[in-house]
Amino acid sequence: MLLVTKVSKRYATSSAALFSGITLKVAAGESLAIMGASGCGKSTLLNIIAGLVTSDSGSVVIDGQETSGLAESLRDAFRAAHIGMVFQQFNLIDCLSVVDNITLPARYLKRPYQQRLALLLQSMGLEHKQNSAIGDLSGGEQQRVAIARALIHSPKLILADEPTGNLDEATSDTVADCLFSLAKSHGAALVVVTHAKEIAARADRAVVIKHGQLEPLTNL
């Protein structure tokens, strides 16, 4: 589903490469956790996979489509149709209700969403909050809205950047349960960036970015 081959990145403002020759593979229905010290390039790698940041070299292939070479407008369209993103800072739209935030990607794509919306509201425990304003929600509830929005259009690939980063342990557990089980039951490939070992341990595989390279993590 996702094949990243020999991807390298150096920001123009930095003298050293952030990472070089990173290769990874995630199958449909499989989950991968990416760990590593703050600033090692986890968000950059996720954004390269999403096509939001360009790499210096290497390729990203998603569901058979090489996305790294696509023109920006095609890459944006591809991302909207096939990728669900959970951003670290949620990126929810404050002037829209919970339901309108969640359904936005599906409405943009003109895809039916009623059945899936009901399922997501139920599994995220958001049924009673569906008409609330975003500002009236707790951090944990906003995080679950962000996850539901990433899943509403049945993406083949879900990219989540520290999806439990701002949550207390109990909420973090519930949110992770939802994210991992929904991804698996929908056969989506899931890439989760996380600091939390408990979250990484839930993934089928875990890797760490160290000295600009990807290393497998086994003893979680």
Residues that bind ligand ADP (CB under 6 A): 11, 13, 18, 36, 38-44
Supply the minimum distance, in Å, between the C-beta of residue 110 and ligand ADP: 33
Supply the minimum distance, in Å, between the C-beta of residue 20 and ligand ADP: 14
123 binds Mg ion (CB under 5 A): no
Which residue's CB is nearer to ligand ADP, number 15 or number 131? 15
Distance (Å) of CA 80 to CA 59, 73, 87, 98? 19, 11, 14, 19
What 3-state DSSP class applies to 130?
coil
Supply the minimum distance, in Å, between the C-beta of residue 53 and ligand ADP: 7
The region of 35-43, 51-59, 114-122, 177-185 touching Mg ion under the rule CB under 5 A is 35-43
What 3-state DSSP class applies to 141?
helix
Angle at 134 between CA 129 and CA 135, to 5 degrees: 115
The region of 37-45, 109-117, 175-183, 203-211 touching Mg ion under the rule CB under 5 A is 37-45
Supply the minimum distance, in Å, between the C-beta of residue 37 and ligand ADP: 7
56 backbone φψ class: left, alpha, beta (φ>0; ψ -120 to 50): alpha
Supply the minimum distance, in Å, between the C-beta of residue 37 and Mg ion: 11
CA distance linking residue 7 with residue 5, whole number of Å: 6
Residue 38: contacted member of ligand ADP, Mg ion, none (CB under 5 to 8 Å, by partner type): ligand ADP
What 3-state DSSP class applies to 65?
strand
Which residue's CB is nearer to ligand ADP, number 99 or number 190? 190
Residue 13: contacted member of Mg ion, ligand ADP, none (CB under 5 to 8 Å, by partner type): ligand ADP
Supply the minimum distance, in Å, between the C-beta of residue 78 and ligand ADP: 22
Q: Which of 19, 26, 30, 43 binds Mg ion (CB under 5 A)?
A: 43
| Contact in structure between 83 and 63 (CB atoms under 8 Å) | no
| Contact in structure between 97 and 137 (CB atoms under 8 Å) | no
Residue 216: contacted member of Mg ion, ligand ADP, none (CB under 5 to 8 Å, by partner type): none
| Cα dihedral value 143, 144, 147, 151, nearest 10 | -160
List all residues 6 or more positions away from 76 whose beta carbon is below 8 Å from its beta carbon. 51
Which residue's CB is nearer to ligand ADP, number 13 or number 219? 13
Contact set with Mg ion (CB under 5 A):
43
